[in-house]
Structure 1
Amino acid sequence: MAQPEKKLLETLNGKIYEHPPVWMMRQAGRHLPEYLELRGRAKDFLDFCYSPSLATEATLQPIRRYNMDGAILFADILLILDAMGRNVRFVKGEGPQLDPASSAADLDKFPLEKLLDRMSPVYETVSRVKSQLAPETTLIGFAGAPWTVAVYAIEGKGGTDKSAARLKAYQDPEDLDAILDILVETTAHYLKAQADAGADALMVFDSWAEGLAEDSMDRLVIKPTQKLIQRVRDLGVTQPIIGFPRGSGAMLEPYAKHTGVTGVGLDTALPVKWVHEALPKSMPVQGNLDPLRLISGGDAMDARIREIKSAFKDRPHIFNLGHGVTPQTPISNVERAVKVIREE
């Protein structure tokens, strides 16, 4: 008997559907009461991520509720830095904090095997989710891109203007390059482990690609990502890879051309017409509904969903948001959005 078609995976392989597959960034999270109950069972957020039973349940919750076409692994991009001994912690009301790395040597204290073993609960989560997913649902593994993870490592927290990391790129370029190279190698093996555990596709989040000058974007985002993708391929990974350089603007064009990603995520600000002109028609795209539309809902949300669907009807398109689902999002609006996307 033939297996049901994985629409999301087939889209990444170039197939075009009248009604695109859908999943949403941060679809497992604080807008779900079942997530909040589950979160309360862990002593802290890192414990949550490192507990395969809890992380598996968090990954599956939005699939059960919304029947999304894609399940994304419940984890965090900072787990790599935690494995590197940077004392990652999540402070309520303040977000992630960690011991800043003053040099590449601070991130190179442990052998690769030890780092990968520290993150082994993540691979177990992937395996558990895979065994429980319907065959038509695509499982997405992920990691942070080298530049974004480097920003956290250097700044020691999120929510900054990234000036310390950008200054280091100007003032100490050799050490920053060494940091990026360490992150490329570790992340490549981390993604391979997720692929080996059962991930159907992979995603690389470059959340801090915004605000960079053209030359910096090339050096800090595009070239390290190209190195990462090439290293992942050298390790034998064949799964499609989505790159998401949030806030990259017009630099998305060289990013898509030179990094080797299979498809690209689109943030909310990218004009649809420009995307068509800048990217090859065969390249899959993912996005780019404003997450706030899910809060406001109503006819305006429905209309925008249909506009995006229509705009991307002639290319492989995965329906998603331009950023993540926010905590105050009504469940009924997500349900409505999925229904309009599928026109059921």
Structure 2
Amino acid sequence: MFPELKNDRFLRALLKQPVDTTPVWMMRQAGRYLPEYRASRATAGDFLSLCKNDAFACEVTLQPLKRYELDAAILFSDILTIPDAMGLGLYFETGEGPKFKHTIRNKADVDALPITTANDLDYVMKAVTTIRHALNGDVPLIGFSGSPWTLATYMIEGGSSKDFRHIKAMMYQSPETLHALLSKLAKSVTAYLNGQILAGAQALQIFDTWGGILSGPMYQQFSLLYMKEIMDGLITEHEGKKIPVIVFTKNGGQWLENMASIGADALGLDWTTDIGEARARVGDKVALQGNIDPCVLYAGKEVIEREVENVLSGYGHGSGHVFNLGHGIHQYVNPDHPKYLIDAVHKLGEKYHDPKFDDLDSLNGL
């Protein structure tokens, strides 16, 4: 069906298999910091038109790969596709981010929501297949979704929030209502991600962007529990290959042991967590992804290279590390600067891996 994969360094690292150097990709690597992305968005008319047209989604997914020697592509889409498919009316206002025409505030609202299937988001599945073919096996394709908790924050607040007062009020005053919503979302996310696997995604990431706003007990009950439900329902192997899954909870470094227990292959780290300490705590169970401060990319080449070395040395020798930013790349970054980071990771990363790395295609089904 698809061309043979030529660079599987990213997949190997997620499975803690030997690699020749540390692989790297960047969250939001296709985005507004690239002039070619801004041109594509202007041609499409708006952000949602980019997401819902497979030709545009493919075009912008490939843009950073034409500039940089990245080790993975990530599907160009949005985490709020599922709430949109549920009928909440997603739209974007300039300078204000995503908004919904309809919000979820009570049990009746939750009861009225459908559980979505992959067929309800066929434009995403079409984009995945289109991108996978266009990649021609150069690098793997990452599919993704928001976590149930993160999706629920937008659905209940009606958009972005600073205090999350509506969802937290529901969490404490009507927890059964919130659990009912999260249950529907977990089922929808599971079907959505499985659909992406069948369409061609070779790895997955669950973005739990707002899990870190919770207290420890609430994180367990309202975020982690539902990500575990998703993990339990995912296709684990497709086309004879293991499908690795990354779970990323921003500001979740205090819960790494709990996160490592749900069955994910890797944990994403933001820049507030020391990667060496994280490896000591959970590195025998999962791979780690991250975690340079995205603002480092505002600096020049020497500073970027220094900070790359700090992260690489912090993780230390051996596989199981995928280099990434601690969150998405910022809009105003000079598009020349990511190349400094990516080249530095590949060059400086070599010394942290076995120089005798050879053909390992027979390992673990890869």
TM over 0.5: yes
Equivalent AA in structure 2 for residue 193 of structure 1: G
> Does the aligned pair in 2 maintain the 1:154–1:164 contact within 8 Å?
yes
Structure 2: how far apart are the matches of 1:108 and 1:35?
39
Whole-Å separation in 2 of the counterparts to 1:176 and 1:107? 8
Query: Is the deviation greater in 102-111 or in 225-234?
Result: 102-111
* Conserved? CA contact 2:211–2:251, under 8 Å: yes
> Which ranges in structure 1 are unaligned for 5 or more consecutive residues?
none
Rounded Cα–Cα distance in structure 2 between residues aligned with 1:112 and 1:174: 17
Cα drift, residue 2 of structure 1: 8.2
- Aligned equivalent of 2:364: none
Q: Which residue of 1 aligns with 2:257?
A: 253
Residue 329 of structure 1 pairs with residue 328 of structure 2 = no
Partner of residue 103 from structure 1, selected from 101, 106, 111: 106
Q: Superposed, which structure 2 residues align to 1:151-170 within 5 Å?
A: 151-170=153-172
Where does 1:75-154 land on structure 2 (aligned, <5 Å)? Answer: 75-98=77-100, 99-103=102-106, 105-107=108-110, 109=112, 111-112=114-115, 116-154=118-156
Task: State the match for 1:263 in structure 2.
Answer: 266
Please tell me the residue identity of whatever aligns with 1:83.
A
Structure-2 change in CA distance of 1:16 and 1:42 (3 Å)? same
Asked whether the 8 Å contact 2:143–2:197 carries over to 1, the reply is yes
* Contact 1:34-1:61 at 8 Å conserved across structures: yes
Is the contact made by 1:262 and 1:283 (CA closer than 8 Å) also made in structure 2? Answer: yes
Aligned to 1:297: 300
* Alpha-carbon distance in structure 1 between the residues aligned to 2:308 and 2:12: 21
**1:180–1:3 distance in 2 versus 1, CA, 3 Å:** closer
Query: CA offsets, 1:117-158, max 9 Å, x none?
Result: 331111111001100114240100000001000111111111
> Residue in 2 aligned with 1:240?
244
Instruction: Using structure 2 for the length normalisation, give the TM-score.
Output: 0.88
- The letter for the 2-side match of 1:293 is V
Residues 1-344 of structure 1 aligned to structure 2 (within 5 Å): 4-98=6-100, 99-103=102-106, 105-107=108-110, 109=112, 111-112=114-115, 116-233=118-235, 238-257=242-261, 259-312=262-315, 313-343=317-347
Contact kept in structure 2, 1:16 and 1:317, CA below 8 Å: no
CA distance in 2, matches of 1:325, 1:3: 26
Give 3-state SS (helix, strand or coil) of 2:325's partner.
Answer: coil
Aligned residue for 1:20, secondary structure, equals: coil
Q: 121-130 vs 230-239, which deviates more? A: 230-239
Q: CA separation in 2, counterparts of 1:299 and 1:234?
A: 41
Mapped partners of 1:234, 1:201: distance in 2: 10
CA distance in 1, matches of 2:112, 2:19: 48
Does the 8 A contact of 2:118 with 2:125 survive in 1? no
User: Distance in 2 between the 1:319 and 1:131 partners?
Assistant: 25
In 2, Cα distance between equivalents of 1:191 and 1:307: 34
Greater mean alpha carbon deviation, residues 24-33 or residues 314-323: 314-323
Residues paired across the two proteins, number? 342
Task: Give 3-state SS (helix, strand or coil) of 2:206's partner.
Answer: strand
Once residues 73 and 169 of structure 1 are traced to their aligned partners in structure 2, the CA distance between those partners, rounded to angstroms, is 32
Q: Tell which deviates more after alignment, 15-24 or 56-65.
A: 15-24
Cα deviations by residue, 1:235-258 (Å, 9 ceiling, x for unpaired): 98951110001111311221112x
| Residues 283 and 315, structure 1, Cα contact 8 Å, conserved in 2 | no
Distance 1:36 1:334 in 2: 17
Report the TM-score, using the length of structure 1 for normalisation.
0.94
Unaligned runs of 5+ in 2: 349-366
Contact 2:264 2:286 in 1 (8 A): no
Equivalent residue letter for 1:247: N
Q: CA deviation at 1:85?
A: 0.7
Q: In 2, Cα distance between the equivalents of 1:105 and 1:190?
A: 24
Contact 1:210–1:246 at 8 Å: present in 2 too?
yes
Deviation at residue 40 of structure 1 after TM alignment: 0.7
Classify the secondary structure of the residue corresponding to 1:85. Answer: helix
The equivalent of 2:354 in structure 1 is none
Taking structure 1 as reference, are residues 47 and 107 closer, same or farther at Cα in structure 2, changes over 3 Å only?
A: farther
How far did residue 234 of structure 1 move?
8.4
Instruction: Please list every run of at least 4 consecutive aligned residues from structure 1 whose deviation after the TM superposition is greater than 6 angstroms.
Output: 234-237
Instruction: Determine what percentage of the aligned residue pairs are the same residue.
Output: 34
Structure 1 residue 103: deviation in Å?
3.1
Tell me, in whole angstroms, the C-alpha distance in 2 between the residues paired with 1:20 and 1:221: 30
